[in-house]
């Protein structure tokens, strides 16, 4: 195992009714917050009212940034920064899923930066300081509630880029599974695919020497397979929603990647799809993942896929390794289809027009260090297989 430092400063209050801790947690760190939310789901499911009641109970002032888009836009981040400065705010409260939380991170970091917040995404600099970030999570998917990453889109340039920095960890996150009861089936499915993809990105790494992380990854995958369909069938199933929610946080909070070299493949490819076509992140991942698996299957990698097949899908370990690996990939494909996620880009109306350009943009240096290193040509091939 390689050396590492593991530090997550986020305080997590998990479970039904934990919103009651929000007021006190904010009051300890801020007195005037920007309340950030999306297209209105938090107004319909009571999350907004519950959070505002907490602010009122502690005399915390607030301003609002509504309308954060799925695949949040840099223009909305800029607007949030403007509001924080104009209103003299000293904290940011996100009510929503990954898009809302990522936008809040952009605002919190942008507040202390005189330039354009897009500079973080453009990798011109790493944010070093941010307003305290508070989140009330309403959807199990991205893990943004417990990580330091934000992904922001710039539709004018067809770009979708992430930035990160320790200052972008939320200070406090409220994870109440009942707040996800209202997530529609399609988003629950996409979220499940996203959690699984984060786990795959960490699990399929060039060196496999982290016993604890590998077993946790397999447990997260099994848990998604068990509880994703349950949450879709019975949206108010507390156990299902609770397990999905905690899976989401642990798939990406850094634990799974410690001690081994990890570079992600499928996410980079998917972000280009979202950037060009504004599609749902988890849907893009569900389409690309089984094709990526098929593409990188070779003599060197088949053992890892075979282990995945036995540990996660309970496949017969006595089967020949290649057969096992192929069966595991097929299981993955069938699982996503069973959640009624699209399995081809054509279903989303996406053709091959921009594949070369997307592959060129996706292909950063980290693709030299991925599970199987990929060239721009390889990436085009995977897009083609996904058509
Ligand atoms: O806009 P609202 O009204 O909030 O509705 C949202 C949105 O339409 C809705 N929704 C969320 N919670 C709900 C609900 N509807 C009913 N009841 C609820 N309780 O679901 C829709 C999708 O929400 P969104 O926040 O966009 O979904 P998600 O959490 O999947 O976030 C996706 C974004 O996060 C980025 C993705 O690229 C994408 O931009 N990612 C962020 C990461 C991170 N910060 O670490 C890592 C990920 O890999 C990912 O890239
Ligand atoms: Zn993701």
What is the mean pLDDT of the segment spanning 62-77? 98
Which pLDDT belongs to residue 2?
85
CA 106 to CA 100: how far, in whole Å? Answer: 10
Can you tell me whether residue 136 is helix, strand or coil? strand
Which pLDDT belongs to residue 331?
98
Residue 293: C-alpha distances to residues 73, 120, 171, 297, 364 (Å): 31, 31, 36, 6, 20
Residue among 97, 122, 117 nearest 107 (CA) = 117
| Phi, then psi, of 157 in degrees rounded to 5 | -115, 10
Most informative mutation of 67, 99, 196 for ligand 1 (most atoms within 8 A of CB): 99
CA 25 to CA 384: how far, in whole Å? Answer: 49
Question: What's the whole-number average pLDDT of the chain?
Answer: 97
Q: Is the pLDDT of residue 240 over 80?
A: yes
Nearest CA to ligand 1 atom 7: 70
What count of other Cβ atoms lies within 10 Å of the Cβ of residue 28?
Answer: 11
What is the mean pLDDT of the segment spanning 4-15? 96
Ligand closest to Cα of 141 equals: 1
Query: Which residues, listed in sequence order, are joined to residue 92 by a DSSP beta bridge?
Result: 34, 133
Q: Considering the entire predicted model, what is its pTM? A: 0.98
Residues 77-106: tens digit of each pLDDT: 999 999 999 999 999 999 999 999 999 999
Run of H or E including 172: strand 172-175
Ligand closest to Cα of 142 equals: 1
**Tokens found for residue 21:** 């801790």
DSSP 205-235: -S----HHHHHHHHHHHHHHHHHHHHHHH-T
pLDDT band at residue 375 using 50, 70 and 90 as cut-offs: very high
Which pLDDT belongs to residue 365?
84
Which pLDDT belongs to residue 206?
86
Most informative mutation of 281, 284, 288, 289 for ligand 1 (most atoms within 8 A of CB): 281
Which pLDDT belongs to residue 209?
74
Least confident of 2-6, 160-164, 226-230, 344-348: 2-6
Contact indicator for 195, 140 with CB cutoff of 8 Å: yes
Ligand 2 center to residue 88 CA distance, Å? 33
CA 47 to CA 49: how far, in whole Å? Answer: 6
Q: Is residue 182 lining ligand 1, measured as CB closer than 6 Å?
A: yes
Q: Is residue 148 lining ligand 1, measured as CB closer than 6 Å?
A: no
Residue among 307, 195, 205, 279 nearest 243 (CA) = 195
What is the mean pLDDT of the segment spanning 105-119? 98
Q: Is residue 40 lining ligand 1, measured as CB closer than 6 Å?
A: yes
Residues 10-65: tens digit of each pLDDT: 999 999 999 999 999 999 999 999 999 999 999 999 999 999 999 999 999 999 99
Residue 130: HSE in the Cβ half-sphere, 13 Å Cα cutoff: 30
Q: Is the pLDDT of residue 210 over 90?
A: no
Ligand 2 center to residue 201 CA distance, Å? 10
């Amino acid at each position: 195992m390689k050396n590492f430092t593991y530090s997550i400063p986020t305080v997590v209050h998990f479970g039904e009714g934990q919103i009651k801790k929000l007021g006190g947690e904010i009051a300890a760190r801020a007195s005037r917050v920007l309340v950030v939310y999306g297209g209105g789901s938090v107004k319909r499911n009571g999350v907004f009212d519950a959070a505002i009641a907490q602010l009122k109970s502690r005399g915390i002032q607030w301003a609002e940034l509504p309308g954060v888009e799925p695949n949040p836009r840099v223009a909305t981040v800029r607007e949030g920064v403007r509001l924080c400065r104009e209103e003299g705010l000293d904290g940011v409260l996100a009510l929503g899923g990954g898009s809302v939380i990522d936008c809040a991170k952009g605002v919190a970091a942008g507040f202390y930066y005189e330039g354009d917040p897009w500079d973080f995404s453009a990798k011109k600099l790493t944010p070093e300081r941010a307003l305290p970030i508070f989140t009330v999570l309403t959807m199990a998917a991205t893990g943004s509630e417990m990580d330091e990453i934000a992904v922001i889109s710039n539709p004018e340039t067809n770009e979708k880029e992430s930035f990160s920095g320790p200052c972008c960890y939320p200070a406090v996150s409220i994870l109440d599974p009942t707040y996800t009861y209202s997530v529609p089936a399609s988003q629950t499915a996409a979220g499940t695919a996203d959690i699984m993809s984060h786990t795959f990105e960490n699990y399929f790494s060039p060196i496999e020497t982290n016993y604890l992380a590998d077993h946790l990854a397999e447990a997260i995958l099994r848990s998604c397979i068990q509880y994703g369909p349950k949450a879709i069938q019975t949206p108010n199933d507390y156990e299902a929603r609770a397990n999905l929610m905690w899976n989401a946080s642990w798939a990406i909070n850094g634990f799974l990647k410690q001690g081994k070299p990890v570079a992600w493949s499928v996410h980079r490819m998917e972000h280009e799809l979202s950037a060009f076509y504004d599609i749902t992140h988890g849907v893009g991942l569900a389409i690309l993942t089984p094709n990526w698996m098929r593409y990188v299957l070779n003599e060197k990698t088949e053992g890892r896929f075979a282990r995945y097949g036995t540990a996660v899908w309970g496949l017969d370990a006595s089967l020949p390794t290649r057969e096992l690996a192929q069966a595991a990939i097929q299981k993955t494909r069938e699982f996503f289809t069973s959640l009624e996620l699209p399995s081809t880009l054509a279903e989303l109306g996406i053709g091959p027009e921009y594949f070369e350009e997307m592959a060129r943009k996706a292909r950063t240096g980290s693709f030299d260090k991925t599970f199987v290193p990929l060239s721009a040509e390889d990436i085009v091939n995977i897009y083609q297989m996904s058509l």
